[in-house]
Amino acid sequence: MAKVTFNVDACKGCGLCVSACPKQILILAKDKLNAKGHSPAEMTDQEKCIGCAFCATMCPDCVITVEK
């Protein structure tokens, strides 16, 4: 199982990772804001993650780390 972590305070909520996820398990938080006032990306179901790292590849700010 892969472990995905986000640098929440650096995320600008662009949503590119959300659209890149083939399992559709990433969302932009609806009830959280980071230090910059953006809704950060978050994982809905870690168990379904296949570790493809498409989300990390698409992130323009490199806030996503995928460990296999």
Could you tell me which CATH class the domain 3-67 is placed in? alpha beta
60-68: average pLDDT: 95
Radius of gyration of the chain (CA): 11
Distance of CA 6 to the CA centre of its chain: 6
- With contact defined as beta carbons under 8 Å apart, do 6 and 25 qualify? no
Residue spans of the domains in the chain: they are 3-67
pTM of the complete model beyond 0.95: no
pLDDT digits (tens, 9 = 90+) for 18-53: 999 999 999 999 999 999 999 999 999 999 999 999
